Amino acid sequence: MSAVLEKMKEKMNLQGLSPKTRKNYLYHVKRFLQYLEKNSFKISSTPVKRYFLGLVEVYDVNTVRQIRAALSYFFKVEGISLFIEDIPSPKRKKLLPKVVAREELQEIIKRIKNLKHKLIIVLLYSSGLRVSEVVSLRRTDINVQNNSILISQGKGKKDRYTLLSKKAKVLLTQYLCETTFSSPYLFEGRKGKYAVKSVQEILKKASTRHLTPHMLRHSFATHLLEDGVDIRFIQKLLGHSKLETTSIYTHVASRDFLKIKSPFD
């Protein structure tokens, strides 16, 4: 089993798959191979289908889709055709993004006294960054003259630019003046760049309810839409390849929705 997984690991490294994707794929494939070994099954359509039937009863749709993608990749690496295509891919649940109200965000930011921590949360919201992007920021990625931030090799291995807000720039200037750096990263941690888990902890301590860093990105997009920004500009700022991905925010933006008058009124 170890040789098979090592071969798959090398292939993923060569193709430049993200560390998170590599970790998830290897985990799911290992679980599948253990299932085959435990039941003395060989790889064929019947045990694969049986395996997926068991998954559907235990896991949510999105997890099953991820496992299906992992096994599909594994089969391609091994040169095994047919099986995975015979299994229907469960439809992804269309959940509306969870958005934090502007007032609540302001309260959260006020509660954070540590300048570094405050700037991290401010950038997540004001620039619409993913948590992986904010911890990967280098000081050279920020252009204070143009009020822009370069997101280098973001999701999908693409570069893009996003906004640097005026209020964020004030905090950033103060932070740069007061901080001594030992690496190129804007936010340093014990192992170079700041840890994603540490960012999650900042938000957890500053919030009165469960919030995630990605909810701040959702809020950035929704609030821009409510302010009348063209959805195509929001698409570019978020780094979405398809407009339909960005269009989900039209379902939660209240700018036009709240203006609709009920026929009863």
**Catalytic residue annotation:** 130, 155, 214, 217, 240, 249
What are residue 185's DSSP bridge partners? 138
3-state SS string for 12-73 = HHHHCCCHHHHHHHHHHHHHHHHHHHHCCCCCCHHHHHHHHHHHHHHCCHHHHHHHHHHHHH
What is the Rg, in whole angstroms, of the alpha carbon atoms belonging to the chain? 22
Strand, coil or helix: 139: helix
Phi-psi group of 198: left, alpha or beta (phi > 0 → left; psi -120 to 50 → alpha; rest → beta):
alpha
- The CA distance from 105 to 215, in Å, is 11
Q: Which two tokens stand for residue 239?
A: 């780094």
